[in-house]
Amino acid sequence: MNRNQILCTESLRELERHGIRQTAAAIGVFDGVHRGHQKVLETLLGIAETTHSVPVVITFRPHPRSVLTPESAPPMLLPPEEKLRLLHAYGAQAIVTIPFTKEFAALSPDEFLDQCLHSGTVRLTGVCVGSAWKFGAKAAGSSADLKRRAKQDGFLFRPVDEVRYGDRIVSSTEIRKAVAEGDLQTASAMLKRNYRLFGTVEHGLGLAGRMLGAPTANLHLEAGVLPPFGVYAVYAETPEGERLPGIVNIGIAPTVRKEENPAPKVEVHIFGRSLDLYGKRLAVELVSNVRREKRFQSLEELRTQIHADIAAAAELLKGI
């Protein structure tokens, strides 16, 4: 197996077809791949090294809450392909993605583990999870069940303690909360990287380029929580891997949009470049807030402010 390539399957037993005979596994949703997840992955690599096994992540799609409580399911912090990329970057050599359905959610803890850990002829040498992780019907399963199962089936089990940032437990929920409150510093600290929005560039009204002198790429959001409406200094990463400095306006553009209850828009302006980005996917890294959104008295006043915002953002991005 090529260590530079990530292998994706829907069960541990499928790994045998790819020459894998022995694995250690980390189990979880891993939305955000934040510092808590990174600690679990570090533990996984330790188990894999000790037992001479291939480190594997077992995860789920869609997010369990989108199946169990779709009316209150949170927005994902990462699109699936970015989650896979980060899991691989932190050492996972294979990803087992189990389809999460209502039937799967209704399994007892033991049945849940039977399905997750059924490995056929592939030997499972160890398992690690976050110590607070719950699973099975009504979230009745816990580390105690995994500890019992490990003793029964003869594999190592390592529960991983929660990670704290100040007085807060690092979690996807806390990261969403921090972003929604405009606390990008906390969100980025919990992620151990700058917070990013993900989406595909779509056609907009074209007002920014024609009337305001600052053409923008309008992002159809695929993953990420919006921060408070305003202007932010950013880096935009293209599918080709270019990391381009720019500025993003997030909000309803009250000066130019007159419709009632307009949907928020994410509009990215790249400094000094004219790029055809329509249909391309961008990752927009939020570095710093420049100002909050406001209504201007005229387009001329808005145009003047946009150029001041660009200068301020460029200054903020120097050396970053």
Same domain for 227 and 304:
yes
* Residue 2 domain-assigned (yes or no): no
**Would you state the structure tokens that stand for residue 151, as one six-digit string?**
């003793």
Res 171: pLDDT: 96
Same domain for 200 and 165:
no
CATH number at residue 16: 3.40.50.620
Per-residue pLDDT of the chain in tens (320 residues, 90 and over written 9): 556 678 999 988 899 999 999 999 999 999 999 999 999 999 999 999 999 999 999 999 988 888 888 888 888 999 999 999 999 999 999 999 999 999 999 999 999 999 888 878 899 999 999 999 999 999 999 999 999 999 999 999 999 999 999 999 999 999 999 999 999 999 999 999 999 999 999 876 555 544 555 678 889 989 889 999 999 999 999 888 889 999 999 998 887 777 777 788 899 988 877 767 888 899 999 999 999 998 888 888 888 898 899 999 999 998 77
Res 2: pLDDT: 55
Q: What total of structural domains would you count in the chain?
A: 2
Q: 3-state SS of 67-103?
A: HHCHHHCCCCCCCHHHHHHHHHHCCCCEEEEEECCHH
Res 64: pLDDT: 85
* Residue 180 domain-assigned (yes or no): no
Res 63: pLDDT: 87
Same domain for 155 and 24:
yes
Same domain for 201 and 79:
no
Nearest to 245 by CA among 264, 269, 219: 269
Res 87: pLDDT: 97
Per the listing, tokens 């406001």 go with 294
Res 279: pLDDT: 87
Res 159: pLDDT: 97
* Residue 292 domain-assigned (yes or no): yes
Which structural domain, as residue segments, surrounds residue 14? 7-169
* Residue 181 domain-assigned (yes or no): no
State residue 217 phi and psi, 5-degree precision: -100, 125
Query: Cβ contacts of residue 113 below 8 Å, gap of 6+?
Result: 135, 136, 141, 145, 146, 149
Q: How far apart are CA 273 and CA 292, in angstroms?
A: 25
* Residue 43 domain-assigned (yes or no): yes
* Residue 187 domain-assigned (yes or no): no
Res 4: pLDDT: 66
DSSP-based three-state secondary structure for 2:
coil
